[in-house]
Amino acid sequence: MGKKREIGACLNLRPRSGFFIISLDLELGWGVLDSKNYLKGYKKNLLGVRSAVPSILDLFEKYKIHATWAAVGCLFFESRDQLLHAFPAKRPNYQDRAFSAYANMINVGADEKEDPFHFAPSLIRLIRSYPAQEIGSHTFSHYLCLEEGQDGETFKEDLTAALKIAKKHHLNTESIVFPRHQSNKEYIPICAELGIKAYRGNEPAWIYRPKNSKSNQSAFRRLLRFLDSYLSITGYNCYPIHQIEGHYPHNTPPYNIPSSRFLRPYSKGLKSFEPLRLRRITDALTYAAKKGLIYHLWWHPHNFGVNLEKNLSFLEKILKHYAQLKKMYGMESQNMGELSRRLLEQHKNHSGKPNNKTYRANAKKLVYLQGL
């Protein structure tokens, strides 16, 4: 017991303390620009966000959930004129121009009242009004980091613009979620330079490896990802805290806090399989709580835009399960920024400066001792 307390104190972690991370990608119309007639095909989902966000926030407050809302920078603006004025000078020149927010302003209205698909300052303010909710970045323009026609220079310009508008709203942006999970390792140093402390990486299984739109269209990959939401194809996708890697070579921010599971929305055609979908998540949460691991759940608010009550009911079942695990095993809810600050503080407290090798050695000891 003495050794357990010594190592646990060193890492500022209680033995057996797992972490439940939730992040949401708030993008509205900017995330589906390349879908033909997206304002028609996704209209119900996108409009439904206006009801989904406050309902989700109420559940988070009820169960004391800390969450990260990664918002597209374009959503912060009050008007089209303000948005156009904030565009960075250097922009991506995607081979497929349908990906570019900069080249697709024709459907963008004057302001949030006229155009609830592309502006959401009221939602940003609402999220900020709830406790323990972090506003992270989903880049300025829903920037796709692996598509042809973009590079590190235009990514930096885009992210800088996102951080600038967030700062005008008195927000210090600490976390980023790369749109469509197109995380690009070459851009992590840029994130570090701009002060980002955490990003959501991909699950380790090959079916979740980051790819661009051309190489990610395999029907077999999509089928496996779909099945993995109901059956354990890739395992629990939980991981110990010592596996969270920071920026090379000193393990400094930004830290990779990978996804564990995408929360698929309710589907009437698949309602018979809802118990499987729920058990896939709750089993993994239980495993994480018992083993002192991290479980990271994510989705888009527009996934709840239709079938809202069904989706909220499903989410509440997950949150009730978490509440039980919190009582039984001390599992904690953290947003991405909170966990990254905790990691950085632990590294500094342990060695006086971030040190990858020493931290990992002690973290592995903690995992070993937890099993004694």
Q: Each residue of 113-140: pLDDT tens digit?
A: 999 999 999 999 999 999 999 999 999 9
Closest by Cα among 118, 110, 149, 151 to 32: 118
- Find where tokens 């920078």 sit: 73
- What is the average per-residue pLDDT within 338-350? 82
Maximum distance among all alpha carbons in the chain?
65
- What is the average per-residue pLDDT within 337-360? 68
- What is the average per-residue pLDDT within 301-311? 98
Residue 362 scores a pLDDT above 80 = no
- Give me the torsion for CA of 90, 95, 96, 100, rounded to 10°: -10
Residue 368 scores a pLDDT above 70 = no
Q: What is the pLDDT of residue 10?
A: 42
Which whole-number Å values give the CA distances from 296 to 88, 237, 337, in the listed order? 32, 9, 13
Is residue 203 within 8 A of residue 259, CB to CB? The reply is yes
- What is the average per-residue pLDDT within 44-63? 98
Q: Which residue has the higher pLDDT, 170 or 245?
A: 170
Is residue 262 within 8 A of residue 300, CB to CB? The reply is no
At 249, the pLDDT band (50, 70, 90 cuts) reads low
Q: What is the pLDDT of residue 305?
A: 97
Strands 255-256 and 332-334: what pairing?
A: unpaired
* Rounded-to-integer distance, Cα 38 and Cα 41, Å: 5
Q: What is the pLDDT of residue 213?
A: 85
Is residue 150 within 8 A of residue 144, CB to CB? The reply is yes
Q: Is 47 exposed, middle or buried (0-12, 13-18, 19+ CB in 10 A)?
A: middle
Q: What is the pLDDT of residue 242?
A: 79
Q: What is the pLDDT of residue 358?
A: 42
At 16, the pLDDT band (50, 70, 90 cuts) reads low
Q: Rg for the chain (alpha carbons), in Å?
A: 20
Residue 352 scores a pLDDT above 60 = no
Q: What is the pLDDT of residue 247?
A: 65
Mean pLDDT of the chain: 89
294 is written with which tokens?
Answer: 């991290």
Question: Looking at 5-19, 101-115, 300-314, which range is the least confident one?
Answer: 5-19
Instruction: Report how many domains make up the chain.
Output: 1
Q: What is the pLDDT of residue 4?
A: 41
Question: Looking at 13-22, 85-94, 168-177, which range is the least confident one?
Answer: 13-22
At 37, the pLDDT band (50, 70, 90 cuts) reads confident
Q: Which domain holds residue 237?
A: 2-370
Q: What is the pLDDT of residue 345?
A: 82
Question: Which amino acid does the sequence have at 75?
Answer: L
At 149, the pLDDT band (50, 70, 90 cuts) reads very high
Q: What is the CATH number of the domain that holds 208?
A: 3.20.20.370
The 10s digit of each residue's pLDDT in 164-222 is 999 999 999 999 999 999 999 999 999 999 999 999 999 999 999 999 988 767 889 99
At 41, the pLDDT band (50, 70, 90 cuts) reads confident
At 14, the pLDDT band (50, 70, 90 cuts) reads very low
What is the pTM for the complete model shown?
A: 0.89
For the chain, what percent of residues have pLDDT higher than 70? 88
Strand partners, 256: 199
For the chain, what percent of residues have pLDDT higher than 90? 80
Closest by Cα among 143, 163, 137 to 33: 143
Backbone angles phi, psi at 25, to 5 degrees: -100, 105
Q: What is the pLDDT of residue 360?
A: 44
